[in-house]
Amino acid sequence: MQLSQLGVAGGFGLLGATIIVNTAGLAPVAHIEFGPALFPTIVGWIMIALSGLAAFDAVRGPAVETPAEGEEPAEPLNWHRLVLFAGFAAAPLIYVLLAPVLGFLLTMPVIVGGLAFIASGKPVRSLLLGVGLTVLLHIVFYQVLRVTLPWGVLTNYAGILTWK
């Protein structure tokens, strides 16, 4: 049994339950047919299910042996992993700083494409992933769910870049 993984699974499940409880009382919104708690509730239940699978895996799996004194760990920390971790940790902060200025449509390709490039080292695929995912998220959130996204410098083109 791996206690650290079991603790993470429990925390993840608790976070899912917290999301469900806190979104249950959201007031209805006039412009959508379903309540605003629908998607957070789905995400919360998915988190609880995944935490159950992770807990099962932690209980079922063998305990991890720590290396003896003087031995090096099997996979030492390298610079690529450190930069990748730092990039993912900094991505929300970068979004918060850049989105009001540049807007969603310009900020997201930079963040997603940059993270994909750090992870894979393939610039063309990273750029295509960044642009494609940004367009998909814009369609889902702005067009379908009617969530307001920041326009930034593209505010004057908001009517051209959308459809109704």
Residues 54 and 93 in one domain: no
The answer to whether residue 69 sits within a structural domain is: no
Once rounded to an integer, what is the mean pLDDT over residues 115-137?
96
Q: Could you tell me which of 116, 23, 3 has the C-alpha nearest to residue 63? A: 3
Q: Judge whether 116 and 125 are in contact, CB under 8 Å.
A: yes
Proportion of the chain above pLDDT 70, given as a percent: 90
The whole-angstrom separation of Cα 41 and Cα 25 is 11
Residue 143: pLDDT over 80? yes
Task: Check the CA dihedral 77-110-116-118 and report its sign.
Answer: negative
**Per-chain mean pLDDT for the chain:** 87
Residue range of the domain that includes 42: 3-60
Q: Is 119 a domain residue?
A: yes
Could you tell me what percent of the chain has a pLDDT over 90?
54
Judge if pTM exceeds 0.85.
no
